[in-house]
Structure 1
């Protein structure tokens, strides 16, 4: 029978397209002897250096090329099994039943004070930890990564709102990716994203590779102290729990117990390979802010004497304020290709000089300055822990000196394959080593529609109409609402209902505000208009203002120009230290009208420019007509005029007998600079990203009241210097401070709103800036037009008083102390000493503070604030 060329090509193409359907490999279940599945057991193909994991039901499915393969199955606490299997052109079912691991207690010659042999094992492992990080020049691997999270509970009054926002309880939210990763010394990671399956766009989110690149050979694993840290013996007790043989190696099981349980210390078991003193596997738990975290890792020998992780498992869970959830994270590593460091191939026996006898020949080894540490390592077959560690440290220092850019502490590049977001289900069936659960499958069906919405917003194209356009409803003026005018244009109305306030000048005042925002070029350029209108029922005054801004991003550089103006009420301190809601409650309930207001008719413009994250400039020029305001209402729910009279809308001040003022015009220029020295960077896709937390921030501000221009009545010059910094101390200890000092070079003509004001507080609520605000200071009493200095320090402990109790630490509670200081040319020395419980119910901060004038005690007060872990802008 003859076949035409066209038919031949068609049949050939059809067969080639079907080849993936006839993939072969092994599949099955890993169980214990009782037939119970072992979730997330590790499957490792020894000859291919290829790893995979089971799912939560102990099931696995692994594609393999035809041929004979050595399959090794591991599960922490169970004996490893290793079998050979011949794979043909079909799937083979291969089930495993693992036996519980039995541990032998080797005879140990006890010396010294009879310490547990675990300490010798851990001292040797710590001595070699830097060696294990340096024994390869580079390695490549393929990583399949899956993270699945779900919200399991929420406050009853928010469940409907969450559902409307697309967040449903007990539904899986899953991220899957396949990535090719290359690590090169000293800290360079090149990542290629081969495929991603998740909701929305993954390109701007943190790479999950960050988690699998953390190493327990570093002093810290994330923020927690590693059991192999140089300071490990200060944080942990170790206990020898036996050993077992696996092939030709002996593995020691070490129990890790924190000396003080709580956040950022580990508890569990770490397995160390005898003689090599490398990690074999680990099963550890820790907590972050009281939330438990479980970590499991299995290692394999991926090159001669090189053990690297082949599976990672993380489990996060917790409850806070009625919310509960969990997140499971699994990484399966395969196709390791290791380039060994040829200078560190020699095997050196480590002697623990603390308990083991040191031969005279070894004790006599004392390197001279001209000796190369790498040559000594290659020539000596025995060294003490201290000798070995010192030589490795010196070798690392020499290597780092050879770097071209010593200020760059790490390099990272991420490239996304053009097909990464387009892979179909057949691709994932081929690449996915861990089968999806039923919940994860349903979650993908939901997320596919959400991804279309996000894509439309970024591209500006909505041809399928996935973005729902809401029609206007009059109730939106009261309850708030938002409208998609186009994929990149959005109108938002703030809820007027929660912007109804009360003060003694306007009585009840209603504020209506909104924002029109248009984005260009995938959010690089943004245009925004934000108007506000306000009406006071007691004063019968109508106010309005607006701000128009345009922002442009070009890499690290960000510039914004804005104009604003209107007629509005303003606090004398332009930082607005008293929130209108707080003043409303204080006035109505306690008859304390702390907010002091004046009227401002103004127009102004400004320019903000961030040349780099280390250097920022801002400047503004404003003309304003300021008028005094008076109380128009004398009403509160409690107390009478005789018991507690309301004060005028004028502050009290020790420098001015009367802060009242006539209507005046003011033209004021303001400029400021922020700078951070000591530049260190990490590289990302060829761009330098600064590590800001490693250097302090220095501030310079100049303010000028310009006289005689546009009728301006003011004439003053103010100069201020400041510094902010935060320093980590130990485990989770942190010291933060803020210092400010300034003076008025010229104060010929000023009004009280032009004075320097300080961030005071007279209400029960504390500031959002625990290291930058006073707790008991009057808002305006010490305001000045002369020289001044203020200082704030805030120290957070891991353990202090109540946190000495482990049960308290496990709740996530922290203890802080703070000291605040203020001195002006006219004020006494003002001090505040305070103590606080932080992260109470994971949300609140409860403070007690005492204030002093010079050495005289003034008052004791209590404040409630937001936990420092929750970072909010004061705006």
Structure 2
């Protein structure tokens, strides 16, 4: 007889017996046995309590009832503490024993006496999240004023990484080569080169500051540490006023980020904009926290999506995560705000940590950014001196830019990731290497080396790093120029620039050209210096001889007319300074020798387009002209850097008054006139309705004893089809106008920023935005009145990760007191100012 082989997994019968035994053990094992518990949750009137919460203390988890108050969950056998709760009811704790049979357990909750009115809301069977949000809204005025004043240390870190899809494709090919056994000659050197290339694509900034705050909106930053690793252009490094995203306010303003403010999910009218869903009730150290999903009722530029975490009973925000998608965003494709709150006193919670994630695409590259803002040493009810706060909202100390690693190791309240540690180490080593004299000399030698491309295309530059000097000579291709008078000209351009350590700057330039047709010369020499950076003090001097456009702001076709030009020999000096915050004084004095161009051969290719060869004829004369301008912006906010002042704008209008005088019998001057002009301009932020801009101006020649044609007050003729700056020109003015007496002028434009389009489901997907405006003018001497209204649509197009082009189509209706109404259409082009993050109009 053949002996029976020992049992093993290779034998089919043994394998089946073993697996069956294990399954039976698991199923009957009391430690692994799971059973269900279910039931109905009702109130004292035996009415269901929809969406009530069921929490198991030992497991730190739970479930929610449905709209009928029915709940069901599966749980291992054992003894547990079940907590049943709902908004407006007293929580109830039950000890529950889960055995080997399904358990039915009905619970009755008692209403809280202070919230009996809320039971009516529950009867609508809405998600309980709505009642929770309602409690937050009812109490938010209290939350807004809990912090009367405060002082805290803040650590800020911003980081950007650049992902290149093309580079990843190349790396995939290299990895394929490696899989085939094709290896580079020096694998270690290649790996190091790749790592350095990755570090070059990461930029980072660290900042340490003391934040001072006083209710409701006064703040001041004292920046004591500032370190840049790489470049900062794409990083979100806000002032407190630009990152004080207080969601207890009805509107959250996102300056520099979005075109319109964000409607807070806990605003007074939030239920009209958002839907809410209670996802779970979480037990934390501070108590129970409701996790509520926030969804826009209609996607739009002023709404967000994400999660709110609300503290039970106190109804304060515990934390949040809200995301805005591109549409209203200026530069980013997506922007996420995360806030984590902390209790600093009894029922007083502050957002002690903020985090911002942002992303944008440009070509094959994806730019991903992250900024954190962390509080430490928070002092509530800090007492400030009477004049501590003002229009200066931030000041940077001289030592801030020189802090070493020892300082930063102590200052960081947010630990560095491994990647960030690598970035700092790599950038510090690069900075150290680039600071050596040998490296500086080598870079200067390379930069100052003259190449064929520089001579022909780019221009020749000479740089001295130690003294921050730079000389530039124009390339050969730019030697050829063109003037309306006489056509082609040839000549060079040279400039010199120097920046000083104290913030002062100096720039000089000179140009010279010879006309190929008339053999005449023109040229200009200019000098400019910022001698007082903290008071924005500038001085400039210019001397030259050139062809001068009488109305340089006129329609572009008129700029091609010979009758618009004279020969201009001039010398002028200009000075501007800020006497006190927001109050500027500028003064200019210029001597002008004005000559006609009748003796020049004026034919050129322009004559084929503009059939006109009638120069302005007059007797040559001299003019000494001065201009003094006063400008005041109340409440102008600003930052103070160690060597400069940075103006941040104001919510109030800018008022200006100017006086221009033509002097008679002074330095052979032949003219005699006085002109006064006053103006007001302002940018108005109107919440979710968009933003408006307006300009108002009035002027009058109070002396016209000898007023020449060149010095008249002029109004620009409109361009055919092209939309011009609506704050300084009209769209259907069919001729150039001038004034020697009183005139009044007004311009207004409003960008709805999606406020109207967002309510039209199909059209809003086109991402177009509506615009409207108006303009009016009155000239006394001719009793000429002009008025116009316009409306149109615009769309923003991406030209790169940080550049945007805004295209628009407008319809215009105008009327004068001399002609019947007329209509026309215009096309607009506007490129955003990437530095200021603002459009031209």
TM-score if structure 2 supplies the norm length?
A: 0.69
1:466–1:252 CA distance, 2 compared to 1 (3 A):
same
**8 A Cα contact 2:213 2:219, kept in partner:** yes
Measured after TM superposition, the shift of residue 516 of structure 1 is: 0.9
2:426 maps to 1:445: yes
Where does residue 295 of structure 2 map in the other structure?
Answer: 257
From 519, 531, 537, the counterpart of 1:559? 537
Where does residue 628 of structure 1 map in the other structure?
Answer: 596
Where does residue 362 of structure 1 map in the other structure?
Answer: none
Where does residue 688 of structure 2 map in the other structure?
Answer: 731
Secondary structure at the residue paired with 1:560?
strand
Secondary structure at the residue paired with 1:562?
strand
2:522 maps to 1:543: yes
Secondary structure at the residue paired with 1:277?
coil
Measured after TM superposition, the shift of residue 728 of structure 1 is: 0.9
From 126, 142, 159, the counterpart of 1:148? 159
Q: 1:164-212 CA distances to partner (integer Å, 9 max, x unpaired)?
A: xxx989953332536364555434456564674623799x995676676
1:649–1:741 CA distance, 2 compared to 1 (3 A):
farther
Q: Which runs of 5+ in 2 are unaligned?
A: 1-53, 67-84, 88-117, 168-195, 255-260, 798-803
Measured after TM superposition, the shift of residue 337 of structure 1 is: 4.9
- Looking at structure 2, the residues matched to 634 and 315 of structure 1 have their Cα atoms a distance apart, in angstroms, of 60
Q: 1:741-783 CA distances to partner (integer Å, 9 max, x unpaired)?
A: 111122232332111122444255544x4422233435x6212
Measured after TM superposition, the shift of residue 738 of structure 1 is: 0.8
Where does residue 39 of structure 2 map in the other structure?
Answer: none
**8 A Cα contact 1:126 1:229, kept in partner:** yes
**8 A Cα contact 2:657 2:676, kept in partner:** yes
> More displaced, 122-131 or 109-118?
109-118
Where does residue 747 of structure 1 map in the other structure?
Answer: 704
1:441–1:101 CA distance, 2 compared to 1 (3 A):
farther
From 592, 596, 614, the counterpart of 2:564? 596
Secondary structure at the residue paired with 2:710?
helix
From 380, 386, 390, the counterpart of 1:404? 386
Q: Looking at CA atoms only, which structure, 1 or 2, has the larger radius of gyration?
A: 2
Q: 1:205-247 CA distances to partner (integer Å, 9 max, x unpaired)?
A: 9567667654323444442335256444376223232441313
1:811–1:645 CA distance, 2 compared to 1 (3 A):
closer
Secondary structure at the residue paired with 2:772?
strand
**8 A Cα contact 1:217 1:226, kept in partner:** no
Where does residue 866 of structure 1 map in the other structure?
Answer: 830
- Looking at structure 2, the residues matched to 629 and 169 of structure 1 have their Cα atoms a distance apart, in angstroms, of 61
**8 A Cα contact 2:204 2:229, kept in partner:** yes
- Looking at structure 2, the residues matched to 532 and 661 of structure 1 have their Cα atoms a distance apart, in angstroms, of 28
Q: 1:279-333 CA distances to partner (integer Å, 9 max, x unpaired)?
A: 122121114137321222333445443434454332212246x475323224374
Q: 1:654-709 CA distances to partner (integer Å, 9 max, x unpaired)?
A: xxxxx5322222121221111234x3657869999887422111111111111222
Secondary structure at the residue paired with 1:123?
helix
After superposition, where does 1:703-718 map in structure 2 within 5 Å? 703-718=660-675
From 793, 797, 806, the counterpart of 1:844? 806
- Looking at structure 2, the residues matched to 558 and 409 of structure 1 have their Cα atoms a distance apart, in angstroms, of 16
Where does residue 853 of structure 1 map in the other structure?
Answer: 816
**8 A Cα contact 1:506 1:538, kept in partner:** yes
1:528–1:724 CA distance, 2 compared to 1 (3 A):
same
Where does residue 177 of structure 1 map in the other structure?
Answer: 206
**8 A Cα contact 1:609 1:617, kept in partner:** yes
Where does residue 248 of structure 2 map in the other structure?
Answer: 217
- Looking at structure 2, the residues matched to 542 and 155 of structure 1 have their Cα atoms a distance apart, in angstroms, of 51
Where does residue 329 of structure 1 map in the other structure?
Answer: 370
Q: 1:20-43 CA distances to partner (integer Å, 9 max, x unpaired)?
A: xxxxxxxxxxxxxxxxxxxxxxxx
**8 A Cα contact 2:223 2:394, kept in partner:** no
- Looking at structure 1, the residues matched to 479 and 759 of structure 2 have their Cα atoms a distance apart, in angstroms, of 44
- Looking at structure 2, the residues matched to 461 and 132 of structure 1 have their Cα atoms a distance apart, in angstroms, of 59
From 759, 783, 788, the counterpart of 2:738? 783
Measured after TM superposition, the shift of residue 138 of structure 1 is: 6.1
- Looking at structure 2, the residues matched to 743 and 430 of structure 1 have their Cα atoms a distance apart, in angstroms, of 61
Secondary structure at the residue paired with 1:660?
coil
**8 A Cα contact 1:235 1:258, kept in partner:** no
**8 A Cα contact 1:173 1:443, kept in partner:** no
- Looking at structure 2, the residues matched to 326 and 527 of structure 1 have their Cα atoms a distance apart, in angstroms, of 36
Where does residue 516 of structure 1 map in the other structure?
Answer: 496
- Looking at structure 2, the residues matched to 745 and 633 of structure 1 have their Cα atoms a distance apart, in angstroms, of 37
1:406–1:798 CA distance, 2 compared to 1 (3 A):
farther
Secondary structure at the residue paired with 1:131?
helix
Measured after TM superposition, the shift of residue 595 of structure 1 is: 8.2
1:250–1:222 CA distance, 2 compared to 1 (3 A):
same
- Looking at structure 1, the residues matched to 832 and 209 of structure 2 have their Cα atoms a distance apart, in angstroms, of 38
1:847–1:826 CA distance, 2 compared to 1 (3 A):
farther
Where does residue 648 of structure 1 map in the other structure?
Answer: 613
Q: 1:246-298 CA distances to partner (integer Å, 9 max, x unpaired)?
A: 13622223333335433343222212112111112212111413732122233
**8 A Cα contact 1:776 1:861, kept in partner:** no
Measured after TM superposition, the shift of residue 797 of structure 1 is: 0.4
From 743, 747, 761, the counterpart of 1:792? 747
Using CA pairs below 8 Å that are at least 6 residues apart, which structure has the higher relative contact order?
1
From 412, 415, 432, the counterpart of 1:433? 415
Secondary structure at the residue paired with 1:714?
strand
Secondary structure at the residue paired with 1:599?
strand
Where does residue 279 of structure 1 map in the other structure?
Answer: 317
- State the aligned residue count: 679
> More displaced, 414-423 or 727-736?
414-423
1:626–1:81 CA distance, 2 compared to 1 (3 A):
farther
1:801–1:761 CA distance, 2 compared to 1 (3 A):
same
- Looking at structure 1, the residues matched to 647 and 292 of structure 2 have their Cα atoms a distance apart, in angstroms, of 39
1:82–1:450 CA distance, 2 compared to 1 (3 A):
farther
Secondary structure at the residue paired with 1:648?
coil
From 113, 125, 128, the counterpart of 2:139? 128
- Looking at structure 2, the residues matched to 476 and 569 of structure 1 have their Cα atoms a distance apart, in angstroms, of 28
Where does residue 605 of structure 1 map in the other structure?
Answer: 573
**8 A Cα contact 1:727 1:736, kept in partner:** yes
TM-score if structure 1 supplies the norm length?
A: 0.67
**8 A Cα contact 1:602 1:625, kept in partner:** yes
Measured after TM superposition, the shift of residue 810 of structure 1 is: 7.0
1:432–1:822 CA distance, 2 compared to 1 (3 A):
closer
Where does residue 42 of structure 1 map in the other structure?
Answer: none
Secondary structure at the residue paired with 1:129?
helix
From 496, 510, 525, the counterpart of 1:531? 510
**8 A Cα contact 1:722 1:738, kept in partner:** yes
**Over aligned residues, Cα RMSD in angstroms?**
4.7
1:560–1:238 CA distance, 2 compared to 1 (3 A):
same
Measured after TM superposition, the shift of residue 633 of structure 1 is: 5.2
2:784 maps to 1:828: yes
- Looking at structure 1, the residues matched to 564 and 481 of structure 2 have their Cα atoms a distance apart, in angstroms, of 14
- Looking at structure 2, the residues matched to 512 and 235 of structure 1 have their Cα atoms a distance apart, in angstroms, of 64
After superposition, where does 1:327-726 map in structure 2 within 5 Å? 327-331=368-372, 333=374, 337=378, 339=380, 404-405=386-387, 408=390, 412=394, 421-423=403-405, 427=409, 433-437=415-419, 441=422, 445=426, 449=430, 467=444, 469-473=447-451, 475-476=454-455, 478-486=457-465, 487-494=467-474, 497=477, 501-510=481-490, 512-523=492-503, 525-553=504-532, 555=534, 557-573=535-551, 575-577=552-554, 593=561, 596-630=564-598, 632=601, 634=603, 636=605, 646-648=611-613, 650=615, 660-677=617-634, 679=635, 692-726=649-683
Secondary structure at the residue paired with 1:832?
strand
Q: 1:563-599 CA distances to partner (integer Å, 9 max, x unpaired)?
A: 21111111102x5556xxx66xx99xxxx64882211
1:531–1:175 CA distance, 2 compared to 1 (3 A):
same
Measured after TM superposition, the shift of residue 736 of structure 1 is: 0.7
